Amino acid sequence: MNKIAILDFHEQDPGLKILFPEAEYYVFMKGYDRSEIYSQHNIDAKYHSEQFNVFDKINDTNYDNLMIVFNIYNSIREYNGMVKSDFFYDINLKFLDKVMLLILKNNFKNVFIFDNYDYNYDPNIISSISEVYDHIIKTKNVLFFKRNFHKKIYYNQNVFPFPYIMFGKFCNINTIIAPPPVRNEIISRVFFSGTLFEHKDPVYGIDRNRRNIMEKINTLVNVDYQNNLPHDVFMTIMSKYKYSLDLLGIGDPNIRTFEILWSNSLRLAERSNLKWNFDDDFCEETYFSDEIELFNKLMLLESDTELYNKCLQKQKYIVSTYMNISVLRNYIEQKMK
Protein backbone atom coordinates (compact mmCIF):
# COMPACT_ATOMS: atom_id res chain seq x y z
CA MET A 1 0.00 0.00 0.00
CA ASN A 2 1.29 3.46 -0.89
CA LYS A 3 -1.73 5.70 -0.41
CA ILE A 4 -1.23 9.45 -0.60
CA ALA A 5 -3.17 12.34 0.93
CA ILE A 6 -2.61 15.82 -0.49
CA LEU A 7 -3.64 18.64 1.85
CA ASP A 8 -3.88 22.00 0.11
CA PHE A 9 -4.19 24.95 2.47
CA HIS A 10 -6.00 27.44 0.26
CA GLU A 11 -6.60 25.78 -3.10
CA GLN A 12 -3.16 27.12 -3.85
CA ASP A 13 -2.09 24.64 -6.49
CA PRO A 14 -3.58 21.34 -7.75
CA GLY A 15 -0.29 20.49 -9.49
CA LEU A 16 0.52 17.69 -7.04
CA LYS A 17 -2.84 16.07 -7.76
CA ILE A 18 -1.99 16.21 -11.49
CA LEU A 19 1.32 14.45 -10.74
CA PHE A 20 -0.29 11.94 -8.38
CA PRO A 21 -3.83 11.35 -9.73
CA GLU A 22 -4.28 8.36 -7.42
CA ALA A 23 -3.92 10.58 -4.34
CA GLU A 24 -6.85 11.92 -2.33
CA TYR A 25 -6.98 15.71 -2.58
CA TYR A 26 -8.17 17.71 0.45
CA VAL A 27 -8.62 21.48 0.60
CA PHE A 28 -8.62 23.26 3.96
CA MET A 29 -9.93 26.60 2.73
CA LYS A 30 -11.61 27.50 -0.55
CA GLY A 31 -9.69 30.03 -2.59
CA TYR A 32 -9.17 30.30 -6.34
CA ASP A 33 -11.71 29.18 -8.90
CA ARG A 34 -10.10 25.91 -9.95
CA SER A 35 -13.18 24.40 -11.60
CA GLU A 36 -11.68 24.43 -15.11
CA ILE A 37 -8.48 22.63 -14.08
CA TYR A 38 -10.40 20.25 -11.81
CA SER A 39 -12.71 19.32 -14.66
CA GLN A 40 -9.84 18.95 -17.14
CA HIS A 41 -7.95 16.53 -14.89
CA ASN A 42 -10.99 14.87 -13.28
CA ILE A 43 -9.97 16.17 -9.85
CA ASP A 44 -12.33 15.59 -6.94
CA ALA A 45 -11.44 18.12 -4.25
CA LYS A 46 -12.74 17.41 -0.75
CA TYR A 47 -13.37 20.72 0.98
CA HIS A 48 -13.18 21.45 4.68
CA SER A 49 -16.53 22.62 6.06
CA GLU A 50 -18.54 22.52 9.24
CA GLN A 51 -19.91 19.15 8.14
CA PHE A 52 -16.60 17.75 6.88
CA ASN A 53 -13.30 18.11 8.72
CA VAL A 54 -10.37 17.11 6.51
CA PHE A 55 -8.25 16.38 9.59
CA ASP A 56 -10.68 13.65 10.65
CA LYS A 57 -10.03 11.77 7.41
CA ILE A 58 -6.23 12.06 7.13
CA ASN A 59 -4.34 9.58 9.32
CA ASP A 60 -1.73 6.85 9.02
CA THR A 61 -4.43 4.19 8.92
CA ASN A 62 -5.83 5.58 5.67
CA TYR A 63 -2.61 6.98 4.14
CA ASP A 64 1.09 6.18 3.97
CA ASN A 65 2.24 9.56 2.67
CA LEU A 66 1.15 13.10 3.42
CA MET A 67 1.84 16.00 1.04
CA ILE A 68 0.99 19.54 2.17
CA VAL A 69 0.83 22.64 -0.05
CA PHE A 70 1.24 25.68 2.16
CA ASN A 71 2.65 29.22 2.19
CA ILE A 72 4.99 29.07 5.18
CA TYR A 73 5.77 32.80 4.90
CA ASN A 74 2.39 33.77 6.30
CA SER A 75 2.71 31.64 9.42
CA ILE A 76 5.79 33.52 10.67
CA ARG A 77 5.19 36.72 12.61
CA GLU A 78 8.84 37.86 12.80
CA TYR A 79 11.72 37.53 10.36
CA ASN A 80 15.08 39.29 10.03
CA GLY A 81 14.44 40.89 13.41
CA MET A 82 11.33 42.66 12.13
CA VAL A 83 7.66 42.13 12.86
CA LYS A 84 5.64 41.68 9.69
CA SER A 85 1.93 42.27 9.36
CA ASP A 86 -0.11 39.89 7.26
CA PHE A 87 -3.82 39.59 6.70
CA PHE A 88 -3.77 35.79 6.69
CA TYR A 89 -1.44 35.34 9.67
CA ASP A 90 -4.06 33.99 12.11
CA ILE A 91 -5.67 31.51 9.70
CA ASN A 92 -2.23 30.37 8.51
CA LEU A 93 -1.08 29.73 12.05
CA LYS A 94 -4.32 27.91 12.82
CA PHE A 95 -3.72 25.66 9.82
CA LEU A 96 -0.07 25.12 10.78
CA ASP A 97 -1.05 24.14 14.32
CA LYS A 98 -3.48 21.55 12.95
CA VAL A 99 -0.89 20.22 10.51
CA MET A 100 1.79 19.84 13.17
CA LEU A 101 -0.64 18.04 15.49
CA LEU A 102 -1.63 15.76 12.61
CA ILE A 103 2.02 14.90 11.90
CA LEU A 104 2.75 14.37 15.61
CA LYS A 105 -0.20 12.01 16.17
CA ASN A 106 0.54 9.84 13.14
CA ASN A 107 3.43 7.86 11.74
CA PHE A 108 3.29 8.58 8.02
CA LYS A 109 6.06 7.01 5.95
CA ASN A 110 6.72 10.42 4.41
CA VAL A 111 5.65 13.97 5.15
CA PHE A 112 6.39 16.51 2.41
CA ILE A 113 5.59 20.20 2.82
CA PHE A 114 5.59 22.11 -0.47
CA ASP A 115 6.44 25.68 0.48
CA ASN A 116 4.44 27.77 -1.99
CA TYR A 117 5.83 31.24 -1.41
CA ASP A 118 8.13 33.77 -3.00
CA TYR A 119 11.01 34.53 -0.70
CA ASN A 120 14.46 33.10 0.06
CA TYR A 121 14.40 31.48 3.47
CA ASP A 122 14.93 28.02 4.89
CA PRO A 123 11.39 26.70 5.50
CA ASN A 124 12.64 25.08 8.71
CA ILE A 125 12.09 28.53 10.22
CA ILE A 126 8.61 27.35 11.21
CA SER A 127 10.38 25.40 13.95
CA SER A 128 11.27 28.77 15.51
CA ILE A 129 7.61 29.22 16.47
CA SER A 130 7.92 26.57 19.15
CA GLU A 131 10.16 23.80 20.47
CA VAL A 132 7.32 21.39 19.71
CA TYR A 133 7.45 22.29 16.02
CA ASP A 134 11.20 21.81 16.01
CA HIS A 135 10.79 18.37 17.60
CA ILE A 136 8.13 17.33 15.09
CA ILE A 137 10.14 18.40 12.04
CA LYS A 138 13.24 16.54 13.22
CA THR A 139 11.71 13.37 14.62
CA LYS A 140 9.05 12.90 11.94
CA ASN A 141 11.52 13.45 9.09
CA VAL A 142 9.58 16.31 7.49
CA LEU A 143 10.97 17.23 4.07
CA PHE A 144 10.38 20.57 2.35
CA PHE A 145 10.07 21.21 -1.38
CA LYS A 146 10.68 24.89 -1.93
CA ARG A 147 9.40 26.99 -4.82
CA ASN A 148 11.94 29.80 -4.46
CA PHE A 149 15.22 27.94 -3.88
CA HIS A 150 18.24 30.25 -4.00
CA LYS A 151 21.29 28.46 -5.42
CA LYS A 152 23.70 30.61 -3.39
CA ILE A 153 22.02 30.07 -0.03
CA TYR A 154 22.69 27.07 2.21
CA TYR A 155 19.55 25.25 3.30
CA ASN A 156 19.17 22.36 5.71
CA GLN A 157 19.47 18.93 4.12
CA ASN A 158 15.72 18.37 4.30
CA VAL A 159 15.02 21.16 1.75
CA PHE A 160 14.80 20.55 -2.02
CA PRO A 161 14.04 22.82 -5.00
CA PHE A 162 10.64 22.50 -6.63
CA PRO A 163 9.84 25.70 -8.57
CA TYR A 164 6.62 24.49 -10.22
CA ILE A 165 4.04 25.24 -7.53
CA MET A 166 2.47 28.68 -7.85
CA PHE A 167 -0.25 30.93 -6.52
CA GLY A 168 -2.86 32.22 -8.91
CA LYS A 169 -5.66 30.91 -11.04
CA PHE A 170 -3.43 29.05 -13.48
CA CYS A 171 -1.35 26.04 -12.56
CA ASN A 172 2.27 25.83 -13.76
CA ILE A 173 2.29 22.06 -14.08
CA ASN A 174 -0.96 22.18 -16.02
CA THR A 175 0.65 24.73 -18.37
CA ILE A 176 3.91 22.94 -19.10
CA ILE A 177 2.36 19.52 -19.71
CA ALA A 178 -0.06 20.91 -22.31
CA PRO A 179 0.85 20.28 -25.97
CA PRO A 180 3.05 23.14 -27.23
CA PRO A 181 1.51 25.38 -29.91
CA VAL A 182 2.39 25.09 -33.57
CA ARG A 183 4.20 28.27 -34.64
CA ASN A 184 2.96 28.84 -38.18
CA GLU A 185 4.14 32.44 -38.17
CA ILE A 186 6.91 34.15 -36.23
CA ILE A 187 7.04 37.84 -35.39
CA SER A 188 10.69 38.83 -35.06
CA ARG A 189 10.13 41.03 -32.03
CA VAL A 190 10.11 40.82 -28.23
CA PHE A 191 6.82 40.26 -26.40
CA PHE A 192 5.95 40.88 -22.77
CA SER A 193 2.72 40.51 -20.85
CA GLY A 194 2.63 41.12 -17.13
CA THR A 195 1.95 43.68 -14.45
CA LEU A 196 4.43 46.56 -14.25
CA PHE A 197 4.41 46.64 -10.48
CA GLU A 198 6.66 48.05 -7.81
CA HIS A 199 7.16 45.77 -4.82
CA LYS A 200 9.21 46.44 -1.70
CA ASP A 201 9.28 44.24 1.37
CA PRO A 202 11.80 45.43 3.99
CA VAL A 203 11.24 42.36 6.17
CA TYR A 204 12.55 40.01 3.48
CA GLY A 205 14.78 42.55 1.74
CA ILE A 206 12.89 42.30 -1.54
CA ASP A 207 12.93 45.37 -3.80
CA ARG A 208 11.52 44.84 -7.29
CA ASN A 209 10.49 47.49 -9.77
CA ARG A 210 9.29 46.10 -13.07
CA ARG A 211 8.09 49.48 -14.28
CA ASN A 212 11.55 50.98 -13.86
CA ILE A 213 13.38 48.22 -15.72
CA MET A 214 10.78 48.17 -18.50
CA GLU A 215 11.26 51.92 -19.02
CA LYS A 216 15.02 51.36 -19.30
CA ILE A 217 14.58 48.43 -21.66
CA ASN A 218 12.34 50.42 -23.94
CA THR A 219 15.10 52.98 -24.52
CA LEU A 220 17.02 50.28 -26.42
CA VAL A 221 14.59 47.46 -27.23
CA ASN A 222 11.10 47.99 -28.61
CA VAL A 223 9.01 45.52 -26.63
CA ASP A 224 5.45 44.70 -27.68
CA TYR A 225 3.68 45.02 -24.33
CA GLN A 226 0.11 43.85 -23.82
CA ASN A 227 -1.58 43.39 -20.48
CA ASN A 228 -5.02 42.40 -19.20
CA LEU A 229 -5.67 40.12 -22.16
CA PRO A 230 -7.74 36.96 -21.71
CA HIS A 231 -5.33 34.17 -20.79
CA ASP A 232 -5.90 32.00 -23.86
CA VAL A 233 -5.62 35.04 -26.15
CA PHE A 234 -2.28 36.25 -24.81
CA MET A 235 -0.89 32.69 -24.78
CA THR A 236 -1.74 32.38 -28.47
CA ILE A 237 -0.23 35.80 -29.24
CA MET A 238 2.95 35.05 -27.29
CA SER A 239 3.55 31.81 -29.18
CA LYS A 240 3.90 33.80 -32.42
CA TYR A 241 6.78 35.93 -31.16
CA LYS A 242 10.41 35.06 -31.73
CA TYR A 243 11.31 36.29 -28.22
CA SER A 244 9.44 36.72 -24.96
CA LEU A 245 10.62 38.73 -21.97
CA ASP A 246 10.71 37.10 -18.54
CA LEU A 247 11.14 39.84 -15.91
CA LEU A 248 11.62 38.94 -12.27
CA GLY A 249 8.36 38.92 -10.36
CA ILE A 250 7.75 39.09 -6.65
CA GLY A 251 9.03 35.51 -6.61
CA ASP A 252 11.15 33.45 -8.96
CA PRO A 253 10.09 31.82 -11.14
CA ASN A 254 6.83 33.62 -11.81
CA ILE A 255 3.96 32.22 -13.83
CA ARG A 256 5.15 33.99 -17.01
CA THR A 257 8.29 31.84 -16.94
CA PHE A 258 6.32 28.67 -17.57
CA GLU A 259 3.93 30.27 -20.05
CA ILE A 260 6.91 31.37 -22.15
CA LEU A 261 8.51 27.93 -21.94
CA TRP A 262 5.24 26.37 -23.10
CA SER A 263 4.87 28.83 -25.99
CA ASN A 264 8.11 27.88 -27.83
CA SER A 265 9.00 31.57 -27.93
CA LEU A 266 12.63 32.05 -26.86
CA ARG A 267 12.72 33.14 -23.22
CA LEU A 268 14.93 36.18 -22.52
CA ALA A 269 15.18 36.09 -18.74
CA GLU A 270 16.26 38.70 -16.25
CA ARG A 271 19.07 37.01 -14.34
CA SER A 272 18.24 35.45 -10.98
CA ASN A 273 19.71 32.96 -8.50
CA LEU A 274 16.92 30.43 -8.91
CA LYS A 275 17.95 26.79 -8.45
CA TRP A 276 15.98 24.41 -10.62
CA ASN A 277 15.56 20.75 -9.78
CA PHE A 278 17.96 19.70 -12.56
CA ASP A 279 21.59 20.39 -13.38
CA ASP A 280 21.06 21.65 -16.94
CA ASP A 281 20.56 25.34 -17.62
CA PHE A 282 19.21 27.50 -20.39
CA CYS A 283 21.76 29.08 -22.73
CA GLU A 284 23.77 31.92 -21.21
CA GLU A 285 22.88 34.05 -24.27
CA THR A 286 19.27 34.17 -23.02
CA TYR A 287 20.05 35.78 -19.65
CA PHE A 288 20.51 39.49 -18.98
CA SER A 289 21.18 41.72 -15.97
CA ASP A 290 20.23 45.11 -17.40
CA GLU A 291 18.86 46.76 -20.53
CA ILE A 292 22.32 47.09 -22.15
CA GLU A 293 23.09 43.40 -21.82
CA LEU A 294 19.62 42.55 -23.12
CA PHE A 295 20.16 44.78 -26.15
CA ASN A 296 23.58 43.30 -26.93
CA LYS A 297 22.39 39.72 -26.61
CA LEU A 298 19.30 40.41 -28.67
CA MET A 299 21.44 41.88 -31.45
CA LEU A 300 23.67 38.82 -31.30
CA LEU A 301 20.74 36.42 -31.51
CA GLU A 302 19.20 38.37 -34.38
CA SER A 303 22.43 38.35 -36.36
CA ASP A 304 23.20 34.67 -35.75
CA THR A 305 20.39 32.33 -36.78
CA GLU A 306 22.39 29.29 -35.78
CA LEU A 307 22.84 30.64 -32.25
CA TYR A 308 19.14 31.50 -31.96
CA ASN A 309 18.16 27.98 -33.02
CA LYS A 310 20.68 26.48 -30.61
CA CYS A 311 19.19 28.47 -27.70
CA LEU A 312 15.63 27.61 -28.66
CA GLN A 313 16.46 23.92 -29.04
CA LYS A 314 18.13 23.90 -25.61
CA GLN A 315 15.02 25.49 -24.14
CA LYS A 316 12.79 22.89 -25.81
CA TYR A 317 15.12 20.12 -24.62
CA ILE A 318 14.90 21.27 -20.99
CA VAL A 319 11.12 21.55 -21.13
CA SER A 320 10.61 18.15 -22.78
CA THR A 321 13.25 16.39 -20.65
CA TYR A 322 12.57 17.75 -17.18
CA MET A 323 9.09 19.28 -17.23
CA ASN A 324 6.77 16.34 -17.70
CA ILE A 325 4.62 14.32 -15.34
CA SER A 326 6.81 11.22 -15.11
CA VAL A 327 10.05 13.13 -14.41
CA LEU A 328 8.53 15.51 -11.85
CA ARG A 329 6.73 12.67 -10.12
CA ASN A 330 9.88 10.55 -10.04
CA TYR A 331 11.83 13.48 -8.60
CA ILE A 332 9.46 13.57 -5.63
CA GLU A 333 9.27 9.78 -5.27
CA GLN A 334 13.07 9.56 -5.05
CA LYS A 335 12.85 11.38 -1.72
CA MET A 336 10.43 8.83 -0.30
CA LYS A 337 11.70 6.25 2.17
Contact 60, 1 (CB under 8 A): no
Specify the pLDDT at position 36. 87
User: pLDDT tens digits, residue range 287-318?
Assistant: 999 999 999 999 999 999 999 999 999 999 99
Contact 27, 13 (CB under 8 A): no
Mean per-residue pLDDT, 186-210: 89
User: pLDDT tens digits, residue range 136-182?
Assistant: 999 999 999 999 999 999 999 999 999 999 877 789 999 999 998 88
CA 43, 47, 48 angle in degrees (round to 5)? 160
What is the residue type of 69?
Answer: V
Contact 298, 241 (CB under 8 A): no
Cα 155 to Cα 178: distance, rounded to the nearest angstrom: 33
> Does residue 247 surpass a pLDDT of 90?
yes
Cα 209 to Cα 15: distance, rounded to the nearest angstrom: 29
With DSSP H G I counted as helix, E B as strand and the rest as coil, what are the percentages for the chain, rounded to 5?
A: 35, 20, 45
Specify the pLDDT at position 143. 98
Cα 110 to Cα 192: distance, rounded to the nearest angstrom: 41
% of residues, the chain, pLDDT over 70: 99
Does residue 34 or residue 55 have the better pLDDT? 55
Specify the pLDDT at position 183. 85
Domain 178-322: homologous superfamily in CATH: Glycogen Phosphorylase B; (3.40.50.2000)
Weakest-pLDDT range from 160-169, 185-194, 236-245: 160-169
> Does residue 31 surpass a pLDDT of 90?
no
146 closest CA partner among 132, 163, 134: 163
Show Cβ contacts of residue 304 under 8 Å, excluding neighbours closer than 6 positions: none
What spatial distance separates the first Cα and last Cα of the chain, rounded to whole Å? 13
Secondary structure of residue 112 in the 3-state scheme: strand
% of residues, the chain, pLDDT over 90: 71
To 10 degrees, the CA torsion angle through 275, 168, 263, 324? Answer: 60
Specify the pLDDT at position 87. 59
pTM, rounded to two decimals: 0.94
Bond prior to 163 in cis (omega within 30° of 0): no
Task: State the CB neighbour count (10 A cutoff) for residue 121.
Answer: 20
User: pLDDT tens digits, residue range 56-101?
Assistant: 999 999 999 999 999 888 888 888 888 877 656 788 889 999 999 9
Dihedral sign, Cα of residue 263, residue 20, residue 13, residue 76: negative
Specify the pLDDT at position 26. 97
Task: State the CB neighbour count (10 A cutoff) for residue 233.
Answer: 11
**4-170 and 178-322 in the same fold:** yes
Mean per-residue pLDDT, 97-123: 94
Cα 125 to Cα 204: distance, rounded to the nearest angstrom: 13
CATH topology of domain 4-170: Rossmann fold (3.40.50)
Does residue 119 or residue 151 have the better pLDDT? 151
Specify the pLDDT at position 90. 85
Average pLDDT for the chain: 92
Does residue 78 or residue 46 have the better pLDDT? 46
Specify the pLDDT at position 118. 83
Specify the pLDDT at position 86. 64
| 306 CB burial (10 A radius; 0-12, 13-18, 19+) | exposed
**What band does 258 get if pLDDT is binned at 50, 70 and 90?**
very high
Q: Enumerate the domain spans of the chain.
A: 4-170, 178-322
Cα 145 to Cα 235: distance, rounded to the nearest angstrom: 28
Backbone angles phi, psi at 68, to 5 degrees: -120, 130
Phi-psi group of 65: left, alpha or beta (phi > 0 → left; psi -120 to 50 → alpha; rest → beta): beta
